[in-house]
Amino acid sequence: MSSSKPVGFVGLGQMGAPMARRLLDWPGGLVVHDARPEAATPLVAAGARAAGSAREVAASAEVISVMVRDDAQVIEVLCGPEGVAGSAAPGTVVAIHSTIAESTATRLARELAPAGIEVVDAPVSGGAIGAHQGSLAVLVGASESAFQRCQEVFGYWSSLAMHAGPPGAGTRAKLARNLLHFVAFTAAAEAQRLAEAAGIDLVELGKVVRHSDAVTGGPGAIMLRPTTAAVAPDDPWFGILSHVRDLGEKDLGLALRLAAELGVDLPLARLALDGFAAGLGVGPGWSTVEGEAP
């Protein structure tokens, strides 16, 4: 896109406001809108132009970011009486950063395509901290041309952009990423119950978890293969993942043994032990009998 044209941002909440703030340096300027006019005040004071509606944003911006709460608000911003579709010129790219249903993203892309409006689903990962730091990851579902037009704009508030595929793919990727995120939170709660029963300081243990995950990469450290298919014995990954399996099955077994001694129920740990080897793509090593060597 031309850097002489303004970029637009609709939705100035906890995530949208810091993302938009980083676009104040865009050469063509920044035009913003929020349902709460006061949300735009700090950005206007810093140099942005406030618009009275999403339709007004689209009257001047070629690339428009949308960060609102849910599917209903996204639909209203794009297709409502004061929505983007009412004034957007052919070639406008609208990037939806909200995490919404994949079906909503693909439907909007299909419905607005005849008007020459390219809808891009581009949910983000990294939270408010990443938004303030400009270090978000953005998972983009878009045509190749739309992705290329968005990249420079996204680079103002992100440090990693993944082109996941056509419209809808960004949302599918984000849902998979968040599945890991929130299952891991549940696992963390389970680990805390075991640690608490064992008399461990939970705050100090949390420091250890954050420290070691920063070094090892946490769960993402095993997400390096392009497939979930079983690993052939002659594949270089087989030895690496077999070693991970042996360590994981051993430690899960020992944790379950300790939990039994302390009377703590660890349902996720049992599921993890049962599915660990298969999930890695290698056959079982350590016995699936809790805490027992083969």
Catalytic-role residue among 5, 174, 207, 250: 174
Name residue, tokens 């009998």: 289
Written as one string, the DSSP assignment of 62-81 is SEEEE--SSHHHHHHHHHST
**Rounded Cα gap, residues 72 and 50, in angstroms:** 23
Locate 291 and state its tokens: 């805490």
Locate 207 and state its tokens: 């420091």
Specify which residues 66 forms β-bridges with. Answer: 10, 96
**Rounded Cα gap, residues 57 and 59, in angstroms:** 5
Strands (DSSP E) found in the chain: 7-10, 30-33, 49-50, 63-66, 93-96, 118-121, 124-125, 136-141, 158-165
Told to judge if 174 belongs to the known catalytic residues of this protein, a careful annotator would answer yes
User: Annotated catalytic sites, by residue?
Assistant: 174
